[in-house]
Structure 1
Amino acid sequence: MLAKRALSIVGGLAVIGWPFAVWLALSYPKLHILLPVLALCFVLRLCALRGKTGALSRAFKGLAIAGAVLSLASIWMREAQLLLWYPVVVNMVMLALFGASLWSKQSLIERLARWREGDLPPAGVRYTRRVTQVWCIFFILNGSMALLTCLAGNIHWWTLWNGMVSYLLMGALFTGEWLVRQRVKRRYE
């Protein structure tokens, strides 16, 4: 249990620290030694997710594989620029996951809400569907910016967007949604 928890922490840190490790590896050629470390972190993340089921777990496993593949391909091809594409892949996978759930009986956010809250009233179902749509818009915009930073080829702009701005926007969206949810819950209680 402790080993699995440690694997989860290392893998999570790899995901959060990815932009800065990539910046270091691209800015300082002597630090290309980080590439095998990044690959290992993603492999450890994949190991930590072993045995977990569900769409979200499958998406996280796919992202761990994508991170490891990009790291290994960068080592093999001696082209660290491939690492820049990971945030684009993340946004595409999350958009596909959230977007596909809009075509199912329950949206992803509704499933998460039911897991925490139990049964939802019709207003709660409508609200969770709307939140899922908002996240889809976020992934489209954030992924587009991640793509633009890749194409621009400026590692400083790439790191700023993918290592800070996107996380701040995500945090603002989480916080804003939580505040709105509290008002919506009070209105229907």
Structure 2
Amino acid sequence: MLKALVTITLLVLIISYPVLVYLGLKHLKVSELGVILIGLFIARLCFTAKSTSKKLVLPLSIIGCALALIAIASDSTLSLTFYPVVVNTTMFILFGQSLLYGQTIIEQLARLKHPDLPEEGIIYTRKVTWIWTVFFVVNGSIALYTALYCSLEEWTFYNGFIAYIMMGILLLGELIFRRFVLKVG
């Protein structure tokens, strides 16, 4: 029970990364925030149970720690703002690679509920995987732009709010389309 609570708390903190960075930089030195973020990434890795989850969490944790170390060494916040870019790039690679080899990510998720997914379902999940792949390119590009050219407030607003709203709209739109147009799900 305690492990599950810690895991959920760490996940919420990682999802809140832009807000954590914003608030941290308002109240802490870059070096202090960097140490806290390194601890957060290491804890997230330690509390990730499934080996399939670790495949995603391990590189993101290592890169998150590296970005925090760069921030500490340079006493600059710039590297801290690159984490959303890294997440989007990682998701792009994961989704894009699944389009090239074997089952797509979305097909794998669909098969959890529908193990005998028909051919039209496979075609549909491939299209949805393409949409998410493009989304990660666009979102990652905007995240990069905000990291390089925007204020910390604008970076936080986009990466900690707007990006999640866009993901939610995409998820909800796909769910509505699948349920009411395709009448499956």
After TM superposition, is the score higher than 0.5? yes
Query: 1:172 Cα shift?
Result: 0.6
Contact 1:46-1:65 within 8 A present in 2 as well: no
Contact 1:26-1:32 within 8 A present in 2 as well: no
1:60 maps to 57
Query: Which secondary structure does the structure 2 equivalent of 1:69 belong to?
Result: helix
Contact 1:46-1:61 within 8 A present in 2 as well: yes
Note closer, same or farther for the CA distance 1:57–1:173 as it changes in structure 2 (3 Å cut): farther
Query: 1:28 Cα shift?
Result: 4.6
1:19 maps to 18
User: Among residues 131, 134, 144, which one is paired with 2:131 in the alignment?
Assistant: 134
* 1:1-26: CA deviation from partner (whole Å, max 9, x where unpaired): x3431331232122122101211233
2:144 maps to 147
Regions of 4+ moved over 6 Å: none
- C-alpha distance in structure 1 between counterparts of 2:8 and 2:64, whole Å: 16
Note closer, same or farther for the CA distance 1:76–1:15 as it changes in structure 2 (3 Å cut): same
2:114 maps to 117
- C-alpha distance in structure 2 between counterparts of 1:31 and 1:100, whole Å: 35
TM-score for both structures, normalised by structure 2 = 0.90
- C-alpha distance in structure 2 between counterparts of 1:44 and 1:85, whole Å: 20
Unaligned residue ranges in structure 1 (runs of 5+): none
TM-score for both structures, normalised by structure 1 = 0.88
What is the one-letter code of the residue matched to 1:23? Y
1:69 maps to 66
Query: 1:74 Cα shift?
Result: 1.7
Q: Percent identity?
A: 38
Unaligned residue ranges in structure 2 (runs of 5+): none
1:186 maps to 183
Query: Which secondary structure does the structure 1 equivalent of 2:117 belong to?
Result: coil
Query: Which secondary structure does the structure 1 equivalent of 2:51 belong to?
Result: coil
1:79 maps to 76
Query: 1:69 Cα shift?
Result: 2.3
Mean Cα displacement is larger for which, 129-138 or 11-20? 11-20
Count of aligned pairs = 185
Note closer, same or farther for the CA distance 1:69–1:166 as it changes in structure 2 (3 Å cut): same
What is the one-letter code of the residue matched to 1:17? S
2:37 maps to 38
